[in-house]
Chain A
């Protein structure tokens, strides 16, 4: 059964620590995304990647880093520079169509990781 797996479901971070959130997909999607959701707000884009070994900053990239070494995997590191990391983090993926124009199919989401500060 194809889908997106995020792990862990809950994560706790101490002050000054970096933590890495895992995101794996077996949908053969080219594009992957990381979003952050805070209470009462919509999802905000942190980073996105359209192809392996390439990624772009979203609207709120400060304090985060990503890598895209494999098509299936797009881990997100929340660094100690992120001063307010407590949030619900969502990973998504989508197909990319290139003809007649470049456009993305609807994004499919994982079930999220809730990060809290100890």
Chain B
């Protein structure tokens, strides 16, 4: 039973525009959420995280929004750059669960000139 879902397998966006990636979860116990970026044949790289006590966290071009009532989070990338072309994974965990992460299936982002 998949507890973290990324329903859009792919997203194409023009360079300079905003990329919006979405993620839904079903387990109301999740209280820590992360986004990872992955290039082919490499390991995922941590991008940004958010605790359930917040509804927004920003780091440079990346902003994560959390809507606990809807069990939904999103990642905004502004402006999108060619180097942002990668697969983005949403992950969630429960504090005190020894860091066990549940991952979504990923969204492939392609940034076009």
Interface residues of A (CB under 8 A from B): 4, 6, 31, 33, 35, 40-45, 48, 50, 56, 58, 90, 92, 94, 96, 101-104, 106-112, 114
Docked complex Cα distance between A106 and B33 (Å): 10
Docked complex Cα distance between A56 and B100 (Å): 10
Would A96 and B44 count as touching, CB distance under 8 A?
no
Interfacial residues of chain B within 65-98, with CB under 8 A of chain A in the complex: 89, 91, 93, 95-96, 98
Instruction: Count chain B residues whose beta carbon lies closer than 8 angstroms to a beta carbon of A.
Output: 27
Would A42 and B105 count as touching, CB distance under 8 A?
yes
Would A48 and B99 count as touching, CB distance under 8 A?
yes
B2 to chain A, nearest CB (A): 8
Instruction: Give the number of residue pairs across the A-B interface with Cβ within 8 Å.
Output: 70
B107 to chain A, nearest CB (A): 11
Would A109 and B44 count as touching, CB distance under 8 A?
yes
Which one of B32, B98, B104 lies within 8 Å of A42 (CB-CB)?
A: B104
Would A102 and B46 count as touching, CB distance under 8 A?
no
Contact A107 to B96, CB < 8 A, known contacts A43-B89, A90-B43, A112-B42: no
- Tell me whether B53 is interfacial, beta carbon within 8 Å: no
Which one of B43, B49, B105 lies within 8 Å of A40 (CB-CB)?
A: B105
Would B103 and A33 count as touching, CB distance under 8 A?
no
Which one of A35, A50, A92 lies within 8 Å of B98 (CB-CB)?
A: A50
Docked complex Cα distance between A72 and B18 (Å): 40
Residues of the A chain whose Cβ atoms lie less than 8 Å from the Cβ of B99: 31, 33, 48, 50, 94, 96, 103-104, 107
